[in-house]
Structure 1
Amino acid sequence: MKHARNNELSDRRSAAAEAKAALLNAYRTAKDTAEPTRLAKQAERQAIAAAREERRAAREQAKLEELERARSAEAERQAAAEVAERAEIEAREAADKDRIARVIADEAARKAARDLRYANRKARKS
């Protein structure tokens, strides 16, 4: 099927310009009609982003609190371990001192018994 009208360059250029203007007008119209929904969507996105940021901050805060609790628990555990170790060392030292005292007392008792035997022997000889 042939076109009845003669398509000259100027006709094609004007048709292209009219099509471009029509597309531009359609875009502007669509943009103007979509403006309220765009603003609503943008506000919704901002609210979602703010809520996301708030949740992230809450998670960070909870993480920091948990870390602080863990540090304090570790410090308490370490302090308890040091106290237990100190008590064990003191008990060991007390046991060592008691053993030394018993050894000294036994040695003194043996010496006293030996001296008594020596004195009895001397008394019998004289």
Structure 2
Amino acid sequence: MDEQQVEQYLLSKPYSAFDYPFGPEVKVFKVKNKMFATLALGTGSEKDCGEKMAGFYCVNLKCEPEEAIMLRDIFSSVIPGYHMNKTLWNTVILDGSVPQGEIERMIDNSFQLVVNKMTKKDQQSILVHL
């Protein structure tokens, strides 16, 4: 998936929208004002993973801790969440090595994890659209 496909898929989620609270280079995707993803171009200046991220768009996604580790073991382009809680977030480097279906599944999972923490009323208003 490229960054446009990822952005389109993120925005297909009910009540999803994005803004730029961290500046114009990082799109932050939210559901009912709760962040479930970020999308930005890797600049190569990132410590420890700059070479991997340079020139590629990267998406940060929330994840269960055990699954986060498993995904990092399976895919070399899935790394601990850049500028995020590394236990709960993964960064997926959009270099074409992670299958589209797997990226979509990770997005769905991130979205659902955030929705699950919302009030029952907010959950119901979102889940009726899934």
Q: Work out whether the TM-score is over 0.5.
A: no
Which structure has greater strand proportion? Answer: 2
TM-score, with length taken from structure 2: 0.17
Computing the radius of gyration from Cα coordinates, the structure with the larger value is 1
Structure of greater relative contact order (alpha carbons < 8 Å, 6+ residues apart): 2
Which structure has greater helix proportion? Answer: 1
